[in-house]
Amino acid sequence: MSNKNPNNGNQNPNSPTDDPENPSISFEQLREFKEEMLSQLDGRASAHASLTPVSPEQALKKYLETRAGDVQTTTLRSHESRLGKFVDWCGDQGIETLDELGGSHLVDFRNWRRDDGDLGRVSLKTQMDTLRVFVRFCATIDAVPDGLHESVLSPVLSRDEESRDVLVSHEQASQVLAHLRKYQYASREHVVWMLLGSTGMRTGALRSLDLDDYDPDDLSLDVNHRPETDTPLKNGKDGERLVSIDESVAEVLNDYVADKRPEVVDDYGRDPLVATTAGRIAPSTIRKYVYKWTRPCVLSGECPIDNDPETCPAACSSDKASKCDLSRSPHTVRRGYITHQLDTGVPPFVLSGRCDVTEDVMDQHYDVRTEDQKMRQRREVLERLAELEEQYGHPTEEEDER
């Protein structure tokens, strides 16, 4: 048997070998690779040279001015607050103009926000999503290179974090309700969102309501367990309760009942409060309304995760709204309502009765406040009690016994 030398004299020294254990490239390939790298470096240098020096403060001002006509005032204030942290950080780092900004800076800022104070992962994700939108805007005014926004990294939430922390914030719910009040006043969608957002009730409780359960004079909704006619409550008879509403909610309900509600009964001859032409509203319809209006692009026209609203299937069709990674289910509206009420100092025992949830479950699954936030709120409550005692005097022993 003859031995064949793979490196015999007939092989072109400029051609690569086919040996996977000893890969090599030809001189020609090496030269082409070098030219390509130099070309890319020249392109980057040229792109950087074409940038306009803009300070972080100037860029933020331009951003807020540009977004002012596109989003709600509350959203603009939230963006200003979040991005203000970034502007302050740039000042601390000596970054005078944004053309100095690179991907490593954005990673450093993310790590700084993560390690600063009691900022949770969900809040950090919100901060970084807003920063990504801002950096992308900065590229449109030639303040940073195109594509730099891709270096803004947001936390990926686990299923446990999503089940506990993902919610429709009070701010977002208010924006949806303001839009519906202006453009779809007293429509079925408006009523569904108003009931979910102002009471924190479950989908099943909303469906269970009949016309007679609404008392416009007493400003209340009588929630009842009626499993025999297809409107059970999650906790059965224990979930029955009277839920108070304010006058603004009653106003919308009155106008809906008078002008928009179809004159129908359900399959059991009952008069549903929230109705379609086919009868009582279906759970799937309620879910559809919530998914539809929690897509970020619906009100802002922009996608925080860089999908194109013009071509994204979830953005183009409300029937596919649930496919949007950022749209939310009805339960997240309930979670947002309970969280906001806790944040504003409403005692858990009050919410327990109103929302049909035990205090233990509320603490485990709904209350996303940090221990520091809870401590500050307890302090505020004690300070308010002290003010009341100072104003009205301390109760006597006889009054205490009563």
**176-213 confidence digits (pLDDT tens):** 999 999 999 999 999 999 999 999 999 999 999 999 99
State the CB neighbour count (10 A cutoff) for residue 126: 18
Q: Mean of the pLDDT values across residues 239-260?
A: 97
Residue 54 has pLDDT above 90, yes or no: yes
Residue among 320, 297, 326, 289 at smallest CA distance from 187: 289
Please state, for a pLDDT cut of 70, what percent of the chain lies above it: 81
Residue among 383, 348, 354, 386 at smallest CA distance from 369: 348
Q: Mean of the pLDDT values across residues 142-158?
A: 87
Q: What does residue 18 show for φ and ψ, rounded to 5 degrees?
A: -100, 5
Distance CA 117, CA 119 (A): 6
Q: Mean of the pLDDT values across residues 99-125?
A: 84
Q: What crossing angle do the helices spanning 103-115 and 73-92 adopt, rounded to 10°?
A: 110
Beta bridge partners of 210: 272
Residue 109 has pLDDT above 50, yes or no: yes
pLDDT on residue 12: 47
Q: What are the structural domain ranges in the chain?
A: 56-156, 165-391
Reported as a pLDDT band with limits 50, 70 and 90, residue 26 is: low
Number of H helices, E strands in the chain: 18, 5
**230-246 confidence digits (pLDDT tens):** 999 998 999 999 999 99
Residue 7 has pLDDT above 50, yes or no: no
| Most confident region among 29-33, 111-115, 124-128, 215-219 by mean pLDDT | 215-219
Burial of 281 (0-12, 13-18, 19+ CB in 10 A): buried
Handedness of CA 59, 61, 64, 65 (dihedral sign): negative
Residue 13 has pLDDT above 50, yes or no: no
pLDDT on residue 257: 98
What average pLDDT is seen over the chain?
A: 85
Contacts of 127 (CB under 8 A, 6+ apart): 82, 85, 113, 119
Tokens (6 digits) for 92: 């601390």
pLDDT on residue 37: 60
User: 248-252, 269-273, 304-308: which has the minimum mean pLDDT?
Assistant: 304-308
- Amino acid letter for position 357: V
pLDDT on residue 308: 86
Residue 19 has pLDDT above 70, yes or no: no
Is the distance from CB of 154 to CB of 60 less than 8 angstroms? Answer: no
Reported as a pLDDT band with limits 50, 70 and 90, residue 25 is: low
Reported as a pLDDT band with limits 50, 70 and 90, residue 336 is: very high
User: 97-111, 258-272, 367-381: which has the minimum mean pLDDT?
Assistant: 367-381
Tokens (6 digits) for 12: 């072109």
- Amino acid letter for position 318: S
Reported as a pLDDT band with limits 50, 70 and 90, residue 14 is: very low
Range 56-156 has CATH code 1.10.3720.10: no
Q: Mean of the pLDDT values across residues 366-389?
A: 79
- Residue 284 vs residue 125, higher pLDDT: 284
Distance CA 400, CA 290 (A): 47
Burial of 169 (0-12, 13-18, 19+ CB in 10 A): middle
Q: 271 in helix, strand or coil?
A: coil
Class of domain 165-391: mainly alpha
- What value, to the nearest 5°, has the Cα angle with vertex 182 and ends 176 and 184? 80
Scanning 68-99, the segments in alpha helix (DSSP H) are 73-92
Q: 357 in helix, strand or coil?
A: coil
